[in-house]
Structure 1
Amino acid sequence: MGLQEQEGWYDFGLSASQEERAKRLHEENINIDLLFQGPLSPGAIPESVSLKVKELCEPYKDEPMVYSAMPAQIITRLSASGEIAEYKEEWYRSGITAGNRELHLNDTESMITSMGEVQLQFDSSDWLVKALTAEDIRRAKREGRKAGIVTAQETDALGKNLELLDALHGFGLRILQLTYNNQNLIGSGCAEPGNGGLSKYGLRFVERLNTLRIIVDTGHCGRQTTLDACAASSAPVIASHTGVEAIYPHMRCKSDEEIRAIAATGGVIGIFAMPWFVHEDPDHTTIEHVLDHIEYVIRLVGADHVGIGTDWPMSDLGWSLVFFKEHIAPKLGFAKGDGPSTETVAGLEKYSYFSNFTRGLVGRGYSDEEIAKIMGGNWLRVFEQICG
């Protein structure tokens, strides 16, 4: 008789012994999601909370950017105060040891506000530690706690003031993405048709990140910017959350050339679980499609260079995500109708279903060592090499 099926288990057709092995591995391994929007998701947030948040936000509906950002901010505060117990429960059910906690560096106001929001998460939860070194992550695992890695996806707030990077590093920033979708002072994002690569300032920026021991992230970078970063960096380069262009040719996916370049630095390619970016039909995207992207990277550059950066589902509410897709996403470089909304990958509707990654890798025949690397070991290796 097989193990009793758990909530959220995707049907991989595993035998009882495979299920036992997957359970053991998921419990033993250090599992890292390097674009961890959770632990909450629309499906994990009580309806009463959703209605309460909507009531608080309604007066700001005529200010689209404010209205769109408010729900996640309110959810963070409610979670910190203990009003959303699912925050801790979902994280622990997921088995994720470490996930990023994201700063927003769009402008000075968002930088300061998000620093407060991120620090609030650490200050209000004695089970959540700020990961400054790899040992912080290992210690969290040993002590039954969780680790948050401070990251950012934008750089606009910095302008050309590289001294701000020192201050952010002091706060705990350990991973920084060079560009988002569009052009900035550093280089071209993946939505830029010009594919301009790193600027002269961008080269200095990468050098400063190397000096500060902040990991260079190319997740949203354009092709030439990614290649330039790999050539310029003296440390491993990552793509925290992306996909494989050869499987699904979306602007957010990486070419074989980019994947090889990142791997050649000793870096890691994190595969996301965003339905619109991994498969042609977002309404029928499953975790098998996500695993296909992981498997492609393994075949191309080896199991030492792939990890997970789901980026989905958001710690947000269904009505807010629909608003974001209709009113905000086009301003961020996404094509009309493309990008974040309410669709989810079957098998990862909630972060508490994260063990499906381990179960799927077992089903595909990977060894214990390979699974440990993919589920977090590769991220931990790069983190230790660069951050200590």
Structure 2
Amino acid sequence: MKTNLTEGLYPFHLTPEQEARASQLHESSIIIDLLFQGPLSPKAIPAHISESIRESCEPFRDEPMVYSGMPSKMIHDMAARGELPAFKEEWYRSGITAGNRQLGISDIESLVTSMGEIQRQFDTMDWLVKVLKADDIRTAKSNHLKAGIVTAQETDGLGKNLALLDALHHFGLRVLQLTYNNQNYIASGCAEQVNGGVSNFGARFIRRMNELGIVVDTSHCGKQTTLDACRLSTAPVIASHTGVEALFGHMRCKSDEELQAIAGTGGVIGIFAMPWFVYKDPNETTIEHVLNHIDYVVRLVGVDHVGIGTDWPMSDVEWSLVYFKEHIAPRIGFAKGDGPSTETVKGLEKYSYFINFTRGLVARGYSDEDIQKILGGNWLRVFEQVWG
């Protein structure tokens, strides 16, 4: 299935020659989205399926965390049973070679549940392979398959049990964020009042991640945590999905000092496509604004240290996203009205529009080599260093 090159094209006003170049680059490159909430989005899920999911979830409305999480689980369950063809179709149309499959580690129950859900995807979808080493991504591209990278954004459920970290590595965990917004045993998140940095236990935790070959992710970490992680880690440190504080002063964006520290480890900064975090008006955020963040990081630390981690849109339904913003986001560190909702970046309303990244980079004058680095080559270099 070839990438859809007619629907959803953002008006970059490319020449026919530039369009042909962008198409060829997109088809031939290894493309990695390291915060891949897809392959679906609310706009890719049929209305009758959305309504059916709402009816099934309604009895659980008095349990906010359960109610909010059910639609995404139901969507993935339908996909695993082969009842949602759009799951595969949208991924292939996107051109994305590898995207993360995310574990929940808020507690042991969520960990066990998400391990089962992720493994079911690999077991039931013969076109999706679990990534254990960097070459698995290259092989997937060669064989016209898709690759799933097991990642996690939180560590709370591990407590201080490093043996669980070892077990998760055996399962396939390859990228792990130290903390999600808040304080935990390891470090301070970006939503904490105190910029506490990495704890003594956190230093041991990072050392064990280095030994196992798990990439250290600092996306939702506080400033001092990011700087400490870069100092403590003997392997490249990343921010899988973030933005530039100098362009938009949101807590989820990184300062120049943090961006330089990450690059100094040999790491990569993944730029997200979150309308609320990259530009002042989420209703008018376009892929041009996302590209502005990419341009800034390239100028600051060089093209070898920039990647993509969109983090949006979600494989979810619209009514669930509205509920999440109103009832769940404040519980996990976001200020009221500050969390994700239904807005999308114009030019990335669906993952099948992902070619707009390639087209936008062509429009901004990047060379073929540099575009391939940003689309996935830089992530692959880090993976080769850390995983082998």
TM above 0.5, one fold? yes
Distance 1:165 1:105 in 2: 11
Aligned to 1:173: 173
Aligned to 1:120: 120
Aligned to 1:93: 93
Aligned to 2:351: 351
TM-score (norm 2): 0.99
Distance 1:296 1:27 in 2: 26
Amino acid of the residue matched to residue 6 of structure 1?
T
| Per-residue deviation, residues 204-259 of structure 1 (Å, max 9, x unmatched) | 00000000000000000000000000000000000000000000000000000000
Aligned to 1:276: 276
Aligned to 1:30: 30
Secondary structure in 2 matching 1:195: coil
Aligned to 1:184: 184
User: Contact 2:5/2:23 (CA < 8 Å) preserved in 1?
Assistant: no
Structure 1: gaps of 5 or more residues = none
| Per-residue deviation, residues 302-335 of structure 1 (Å, max 9, x unmatched) | 0000000000000000000000000000001101
Cα displacement (A) at 1:52: 1.1
Aligned to 2:294: 294
Distance 1:192 1:159 in 2: 19
Distance 1:222 1:290 in 2: 22
Tell me how many residue pairs correspond in the alignment: 385
TM-score (norm 1): 0.99
| Per-residue deviation, residues 96-153 of structure 1 (Å, max 9, x unmatched) | 0000000000000000000001001111110000011111000000000000000000
Distance 1:334 1:163 in 2: 31
Aligned to 1:325: 325
Cα displacement (A) at 1:193: 1.7
Distance 2:5 2:312 in 1: 24
Aligned to 1:310: 310
1:210 and 2:179 equivalent? no
Secondary structure in 2 matching 1:270: strand
Cα displacement (A) at 1:339: 1.6
Secondary structure in 1 matching 2:219: coil
Distance 1:138 1:30 in 2: 7
Secondary structure in 1 matching 2:260: helix
Amino acid of the residue matched to residue 189 of structure 2?
G
Cα displacement (A) at 1:5: 6.6
Change in 2 beyond 3 A, CA 1:149/1:5: closer
Percent identity between matched residues is 72
- CA RMSD for the aligned pairs? 0.8
Distance 1:187 1:92 in 2: 38
| Per-residue deviation, residues 259-315 of structure 1 (Å, max 9, x unmatched) | 000000000000000000000000000000000000000000000000000000000
Distance 1:132 1:291 in 2: 30
Moved over 4 A (4+): none
1:223 and 2:223 equivalent? yes
Amino acid of the residue matched to residue 286 of structure 2?
T
Structure 2: gaps of 5 or more residues = none
Amino acid of the residue matched to residue 104 of structure 1?
G
Secondary structure in 1 matching 2:99: strand
Amino acid of the residue matched to residue 43 of structure 2?
G
